[in-house]
């Protein structure tokens, strides 16, 4: 019974959110469709000190010959912004801090006014 009430509350909350978005769409405050992804995940390195068997992208060992350079990432950021931008990019790995040019990449993303999060 308690679980049923929780599910009902969640459904009501979701419906309120949908209604608010529809209302904002009618007023032209919220897009009716998107032509770009809302966000991207930059997997900047495969380096990781752990070797989890369940790792979804086989992180652990360095695959450095396959990794993009800072110049590559900057060009990608520039291209994404030029093509319309995204709300947020998530910088992940492996362990994103193992990427030796991480500070420069973060600074560039910040400079280009793109929201970012480390994961
Ligand atoms: S990236 Fe995460 S899941 Fe993958 S090996 Fe490292 S700690 Fe494990």
Residue pLDDT tens, the chain, 119 long: 677 888 888 999 999 999 999 999 999 998 888 877 888 999 999 999 999 999 988 888 877 677 899 999 999 999 988 888 888 899 998 999 999 899 999 999 999 988 999 99
Q: Model-level pTM?
A: 0.71
Pair of tokens at residue 40: 């991207």
Smallest Cα–Cα separation from 93: which of 49, 44, 50? 44
Q: Which pLDDT belongs to residue 1? A: 67
Tell me if 39 sits within 8 A of 17, measured CB to CB: no
pLDDT in the model for residue 86: 84
User: In the prediction, which pLDDT does 55 show?
Assistant: 92
Sheet holding 88-92, edge to edge: 39-43, 88-92, 115-118
Q: List pocket residues of ligand 1, CB cut-off 6 Å.
A: 48, 50-52, 55, 59-60, 93-94
Q: How far is it, in rounded angstroms, from Cα 67 to Cα 102?
A: 13
Give the pair of three-digit tokens for residue 104.
């420069």
| Cα of 55 from ligand 1 centre, angstroms | 5
Domain residue spans of the chain:
1-31, 34-118
Determine the distance separating the centroid of ligand 1 and the alpha carbon of 110, expressed in angstroms. 26
Geometric angle at alpha carbon 10, from 7 and 14, rounded to 5°? 140
Here the contacts of 53-58 (C-beta below 8 Å, separation 24 or greater) are: 57/94
């Amino acid at each position: 019974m308690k679980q049923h009430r929780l599910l009902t509350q969640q459904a009501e909350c979701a419906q309120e959110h949908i209604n608010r978005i529809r209302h904002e769409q009618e007023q032209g405050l919220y897009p009716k469709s998107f032509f770009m992804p809302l966000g991207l995940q930059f997997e900047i390195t495969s380096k990781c000190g752990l070797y989890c068997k369940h790792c979804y992208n086989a992180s652990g060992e360095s695959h450095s010959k396959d990794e993009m350079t800072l110049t590559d990432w900057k060009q990608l950021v520039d291209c994404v912004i030029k093509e319309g931008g995204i709300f947020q990019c998530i910088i992940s790995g492996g362990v994103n801090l193992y990427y030796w040019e991480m500070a420069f990449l973060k600074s560039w993303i910040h400079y280009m006014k793109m929201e970012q999060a480390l994961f």
